[in-house]
Chains A and B, each alone.
Chain A
Amino acid sequence: MKAMAAARPRYDRLAMNRLGLWLFFLSESMIFLILLMTRFYLLGTYRPEGLNQPLGLTITVILLLSSLTAYRAETSMAHGDRQGFLRNLLATILLGTAFLIGVVGFEWPEAPHLGIIPQEGFGIAFFSMTGMHAFHVLTGVILLTIVYLNGRRGAYSAESHWGVEASVKYWHFVDVVWVFFYPVLYLIR
């Protein structure tokens, strides 16, 4: 048995971790897919004219940029550049927080004045979809902050940084969800 275990490839554990993470993404995708389908079922391609388009575009660009900094953070750690990792991860956390402030601090309070009421019509889809996504952004920011603090303590290295890889992949997943939510909420008609 010991000989068999020793013969097993070293990356088995990492491969299983990755597979598990992607299965988690798949299960999460179902929630977002249902929200998307509900939006089309209830409203078709209708959207109100008064949506704050510049704000929608701004938060979208912010989230895209955060994916770049997250990617750089992971790459920096893979190359043993701890300072680069910390710098880029901090930028990701700040951009994620800016996205949250944009949605929850600006878009939500403004929406009822534009006729988007949470209890009716487009408002149900708008607040459900942005709310569920914002919740995932919040958990992502918390996760990245934990990884950042661990990174400052030297918990990761170029050879071993699964925590960094997993949290960054989660962040990209949240970005992918917004890639679909942005046009569906703000652009189609």
Chain B
Amino acid sequence: MVIGGLGALTAAEYWIALSVHSSPLLYLAPIALIKAWLIVQYFMHVRQLWGEEEVES
């Protein structure tokens, strides 16, 4: 699910870079932020810092 979202967003980035000619940064910056959030939230389990998601290690 998460990797599908990351893949779709990466494809969107690539498409934007090829087809949007004026200020693609306006679209690319929010996409990069969403991708980073997905990784930090679901792969890095940042919520563990607040004790909301406890996985024994």
Contact = CB atoms under 8 A, between A and B. Distances in A.
Q: Answer yes or no: do A and B interact.
A: yes
Contacts of A175: 39, 43
Query: In terms of DSSP, what is the predominant structure of the interface of chain A?
Result: helix
Query: In terms of DSSP, what is the predominant structure of the interface of chain B?
Result: helix
A162 B57 contact: yes
Interface residues of A, number: 38
Contact of A158 (B39, B43, B56): B56
Given A61-B7, A183-B17, A187-B17, A173 B44 contact: yes
Interface in A64-112: 64-65, 67-68, 70-71, 78
Contacts of A162: 57
Interface stretch (A10-18, A114-122, A123-131, A141-149): A10-18
A173 B32 CA distance: 14
Nearest to B23: A45
A64 B43 CA distance: 11
A40 B25 CA distance: 12
B28 A188 contact: yes
B55 A78 contact: yes
A158 B18 CA distance: 46
12 contacts: A18-B48, A67-B6, A67-B43, A78-B56, A78-B57, A159-B56, A165-B55, A173-B44, A176-B39, A179-B35, A179-B36, A188-B24
